[in-house]
A and B are shown apart, each in its own frame.
Chain A
């Protein structure tokens, strides 16, 4: 099905199943431990061998000598694989550094060996017996130092310019020119990267934990130089990904090598320090923002520059993305520069681009509102735009930004905020309110599915789409149930297997809208087949488990009494995304309390008002947004990978040292979805929602801390050491 015209009335609009807050259909499996994750696939391999990865202990340089004889002779050891005996190991398109290092070392904890043994304990113990003699080379590990030498990324300059930014900024009566920073951050998903690998002849099967099955199948084939049809990935359950599992990582490659070398199925899970230093992370950014405005608050000039580092050949963190689209203003510029750093590779994490970009931009907007003596909500409302400010001929498909802000302000009690910082107390606590815009672009991706109707009237949906804890199983079941007119209990959803039709996968908040649209397409194809076979008119209805046309009707089950009916299709998207800018919007509101003695910041309450197209399931969507808001709190207050700039690694490489919020940090959270259908997005008329819940939250917290304390912090996270000496004097 090609989607190149705005959606008209369709089966989804019935909203008998779609749009209902249905419990997760996979919930009971997860709460009773029956959902099998990659490292627990006893169902497919009863007695695998265990692999344990040894990571490099230098950040840059090479291996002079590597000795494995002691490890090989350790009890239970079946094989030790290193670059010396692994054969040719290439690199996937989505990887920057090689997943098996040696002799050249590209980053700390790059895999240099995998030890395979009968038990996990034997493999782990023997890995300590691998002797590696490294020659260290000098590396660059400090973004602030490397920034001066930053240049354009490999694909050419990433910049935009509209009007005369320099002139307009210079002549603006009210201006802001500030620099902000965000630190390196780790996905910190609960389930570490893990893979169970098995070869049968030249065919490789990986039971793994991966967000993007088709991308990763291709990259496995590329890495090992084998045809893609010889690779199968299976990833039905994923214990969180957050962008860290968009690509194959060393667990998959090393498990496959280990299985080949040992002749056994082998499973490998990354130990927590390797999750942090061996895989990807969100790179730190330094961002300069300049805003010029007329005295009435209208923005006349807006400029956003961002710098980050990555390994040679890496990519930018597109922190300027939202600044191209969020606010009006005739004169604009953005620029992204990339420095070469020898830290582990940077890549997508939890709303790449907008998440760190809004952390900076939305503090700047708060500062600018104060300079203008305007309310922060009113300042944003005044600068709303209904068209792409760089290309005014492109309207937004839907844009309820102002409604998000107005609704949020009313529901949160924004009018009770005292605009004078450090003026509200509750005992020893300094109380502050802050808000920020939420913005995340809506991406659509081609997505396929297969549906099968059986003689019991049960419809099975098969697609390689993944559920990373987001609710995909449930919304796909709702989509099929709605389209075919059956209860959701009559739908079976099978996900994550590369033998199924390729889907959008989970990333960039594109999964829900795109993958359900693919399922809708397959269901509509099935409907066509059925109607044609029956000779019913094209407008036959599918309700109550029956196909109906006039007085005629027949059960779906009876149609498959002689064998299942199968239909497969995909949704692909035309150029509506070029004609219309598709984005999602939110207003984030936060109340904080800052201890006037110790500077500890505790969130008191949060509200997100979201406008993101049709909400397919308000319950799973709400859970997505609440989780995202929690990530926003983490980014604002605690999450930071500490860089050792001498040795080039992230020091706090476990979940004791890399802190994310705990339950006690998360207070009252509220989420409101505005009514919206976007007929330009897909037949589902839905958009992404998961990442929107995060984008802007960090700045809302930072602005609340400023309102509470009068101390403006522009460097995340806002840990107490950054403002302790500027808190009110104590008795």
Chain B
């Protein structure tokens, strides 16, 4: 860990302003990922802006009939919220499939979206990683890649986004609300929030440096059966090998997003039209163009079979 200075923010706009004033500054909320990365010197911010005092920890109903989730709502509180459990079950289930009780108590909604990949080469500072050190190369390509991405990959990076929550939010068409140093707010659709690695894998999201997430909004409930199915090598406390977030309607239509496959939650709206035809038809479209490695080619099959399990369960 490098020495850093620290301040506590007073308002969201002031926090963004403080970040602009100190290039290389980072916001810190729960710190469940950032502190680990700082200890390993994967992240070396010279300045931390603690957004803890900002409040932003409420879940409110929106005029449109949806929910506005403050960026600092903990993963535990969000998963346990009665409205979330009733109307957005996929989100609650995704959250509870992730991490551990202790981590979910500390981790926040905004922080969860911004967590970094768990690619082991990203974590080993002796290894080449374009995400950690742009231009250094990618040791994961040709290396141990079983956990890594199969679609949306580039020659520069095959990392996955590790979040379960984000996959559910993607399937719910959530929007990420932000504020910048000028006090301007934006609403970024989840579809656009996380990027693909392309030739700049060190940039995970479209959020400009210094802009602060203030909330995530969910549109009005869409009904249906909500499923989050996470496949992993042990029953708990592991990142997804593959996961499926789905909202399935009685008429066979629905929405599907995949986790564990790509640099972002992977959802192909065009594929959803094939849901009435079953998992194979959906996967054929959603995973067209997959470029797996020898070690993770099974994920393509697994994604299809997991979706089949989800459809089968939802239809009871």
Report the Cα distance A724→B126, complex, angstroms: 34
In this assembly, does B312 line the interface, its C-beta being within 8 Å of a C-beta of chain A? yes
Chain B residues within 8 Å of chain A by Cβ, number: 37
Decide: A595 and B309 in contact? CB cutoff 8 A: yes
Interface residue from A57, A598, A651, A665 paired with B231 (Cβ < 8 Å): A598
Task: Determine which residue in A75, A598, A652, A724 has the highest number of CB atoms from chain B within 10 A of its CB, and name it.
Answer: A598
Interface residue from A597, A719, A731 paired with B306 (Cβ < 8 Å): A597
Known interface pairs A597-B308, A598-B305, A644-B144. Does A654 touch B123 (Cβ–Cβ under 8 Å)? yes
In this assembly, does A125 line the interface, its C-beta being within 8 Å of a C-beta of chain B? yes
Q: Nearest Cβ distance between residue B152 and chain A, in whole angstroms?
A: 20
Decide: B234 and A661 in contact? CB cutoff 8 A: yes
Known interface pairs A57-B126, A121-B1, A719-B233. Does A651 touch B302 (Cβ–Cβ under 8 Å)? no
Decide: B306 and A664 in contact? CB cutoff 8 A: no
Decide: B144 and A598 in contact? CB cutoff 8 A: no
Decide: B234 and A598 in contact? CB cutoff 8 A: no
For B308, list chain A residues within 8 Å (CB).
597, 730-731
For A656, list chain B residues within 8 Å (CB).
118, 238-239
In this assembly, does A273 line the interface, its C-beta being within 8 Å of a C-beta of chain B? yes
Report the Cα distance A124→B125, complex, angstroms: 14
For A124, list chain B residues within 8 Å (CB).
1, 39
Total A-B Cβ pairs within 8 A = 100
For B6, list chain A residues within 8 Å (CB).
none
Interface residue from A597, A602, A653, A659 paired with B312 (Cβ < 8 Å): A597
Interface residue from A642, A659, A662, A725 paired with B298 (Cβ < 8 Å): A725
Decide: A597 and B235 in contact? CB cutoff 8 A: no
Known interface pairs A651-B143, A653-B124. Does A724 touch B118 (Cβ–Cβ under 8 Å)? no
Interface residue from A121, A653, A662, A727 paired with B235 (Cβ < 8 Å): A662
Interface residue from A273, A659, A663, A727 paired with B233 (Cβ < 8 Å): A659
In this assembly, does A720 line the interface, its C-beta being within 8 Å of a C-beta of chain B? yes
For B305, list chain A residues within 8 Å (CB).
597-599, 724, 727, 730
Report the Cα distance A719→B312, complex, angstroms: 23
For A647, list chain B residues within 8 Å (CB).
127, 139, 143
Q: Nearest Cβ distance between residue A58 and chain B, in whole angstroms?
A: 8
Interface string of B1-43 (1 = CB under 8 A from A): 1110000000000000000000000000000000000010100
In this assembly, does B278 line the interface, its C-beta being within 8 Å of a C-beta of chain A? yes
In this assembly, does A6 line the interface, its C-beta being within 8 Å of a C-beta of chain B? no
Decide: A665 and B118 in contact? CB cutoff 8 A: no
In this assembly, does B62 line the interface, its C-beta being within 8 Å of a C-beta of chain A? no
Interface residue from A595, A599, A638 paired with B234 (Cβ < 8 Å): A638
Interface residues of A in 134-178 (CB under 8 A from B): none
Interface residue from A643, A653, A731 paired with B278 (Cβ < 8 Å): A731
In this assembly, does A225 line the interface, its C-beta being within 8 Å of a C-beta of chain B? no
Report the Cα distance A595→B279, complex, angstroms: 17
Q: Nearest Cβ distance between residue B287 and chain A, in whole angstroms?
A: 15
Report the Cα distance A449→B2, complex, angstroms: 49
In this assembly, does B142 line the interface, its C-beta being within 8 Å of a C-beta of chain A? yes
Decide: A646 and B298 in contact? CB cutoff 8 A: no
Report the Cα distance A51→B235, complex, angstroms: 37
Interface string of A38-59 (1 = CB under 8 A from B): 0000000000000000000100
Interface string of B113-153 (1 = CB under 8 A from A): 00000101101101100000000000100111010000000
Report the Cα distance A243→B235, complex, angstroms: 27
Interface residue from B143, B279, B312 paired with A644 (Cβ < 8 Å): B143
In this assembly, does A721 line the interface, its C-beta being within 8 Å of a C-beta of chain B? yes
For B234, list chain A residues within 8 Å (CB).
637-638, 659-662, 664-665
Report the Cα distance A720→B126, complex, angstroms: 30
Interface residue from B118, B143, B233, B279 paired with A730 (Cβ < 8 Å): B279
Q: What are 12 inter-chain pairs, A to B, with CB distance below 8 A?
A: A124-B39, A125-B41, A428-B309, A597-B305, A646-B143, A665-B234, A719-B233, A720-B233, A720-B298, A724-B298, A730-B305, A730-B309
Taking A428-B309, A600-B232, A652-B144 as known contacts, 9 extra A-B pairs with beta carbons closer than 8 A to each other, sorted by chain A number, are A75-B3, A125-B2, A125-B41, A598-B302, A638-B233, A656-B118, A665-B234, A721-B302, A730-B308
Per CB-CB distance, the 10 closest pairs between chain A and chain B, nearest first, are A57-B126, A597-B309, A664-B235, A721-B298, A664-B236, A651-B144, A642-B144, A730-B308, A638-B233, A665-B235
